[in-house]
C-alpha cells in the first residue's frame, strides 16, 4: 500500500509518498548449532563432522586451534559426513567452524590421546 508522511513545519509543508512491502517471514532461515554434530568428542585419531541436517547446503569447514591457528579446512562441502584425521594434533581444545551462506556455527572439539 501507500505510506504518506506529512509535516507542517512553520509555513512549509512536506509530503512524502511511497510504496512498501511487508515481509512476514524469512525465506532462508539461519543454520542452528543443533544441525552440526561432532563425534567422538573428545577425540584422539579422527573426528566425524555430521552435516546431515544441513540438507546439502554447501559449507566451508575449518578447524582452528584455541590460539586461532588454521589447522585444516575444506571448501564447498556438500557431503553429509566428513571424517578428519586429527592424530597429529596436540591435546587440547579446538574450534570447528561450519560456514554457510545462512550463517556460521562454531563447535568445540577436545583432543585427548
Residues 8-25 have pLDDT tens digits of 665 445 555 666 655 555
Q: Which residues contact 105 (CB under 8 A, 6 or more apart)?
A: 31, 32, 33, 35, 36, 97, 98
Structure confidence at residue 86 (pLDDT):
98
Structure confidence at residue 57 (pLDDT):
93
Structure confidence at residue 26 (pLDDT):
54
Put the strands of the sheet holding 70-77 in their side by side order. Answer: 70-77, 59-65, 92-100, 103-111
**Range name among 3-7, 31-35, 105-109 with the lowest pLDDT average:** 3-7
* pTM attached to this predicted model: 0.73
Domains of the chain, first to last: 33-111 (2.60.40.3080)
Per-residue pLDDT tens digits for 48-73 = 999 999 999 999 999 999 999 999 99
Structure confidence at residue 77 (pLDDT):
96
Per-residue pLDDT tens digits for 68-105 = 999 999 999 999 999 999 999 999 999 999 999 999 99
Structure confidence at residue 30 (pLDDT):
85
Amino acid at each position: 500500500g501507500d505510506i504518506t508522511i506529512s509535516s507542517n513545519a512553520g509555513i512549509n509543508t512536506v509530503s512524502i509518498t511511497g510504496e512498501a512491502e511487508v515481509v512476514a517471514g524469512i525465506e532462508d532461515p539461519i543454520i542452528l548449532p543443533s544441525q552440526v554434530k561432532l563425534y567422538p568428542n573428545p577425540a584422539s585419531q579422527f573426528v566425524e563432522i555430521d552435516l546431515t541436517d544441513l540438507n546439502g547446503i554447501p559449507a566451508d569447514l575449518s578447524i582452528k586451534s584455541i590460539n586461532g591457528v588454521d589447522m585444516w579446512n575444506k571448501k564447498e562441502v556438500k557431503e553429509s559426513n566428513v571424517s578428519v584425521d586429527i592424530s597429529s594434533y596436540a591435546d587440547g581444545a579446538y574450534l570447528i567452524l561450519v560456514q554457510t551462506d545462512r550463517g556460521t556455527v562454531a563447535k568445540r572439539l577436545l583432543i585427548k590421546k
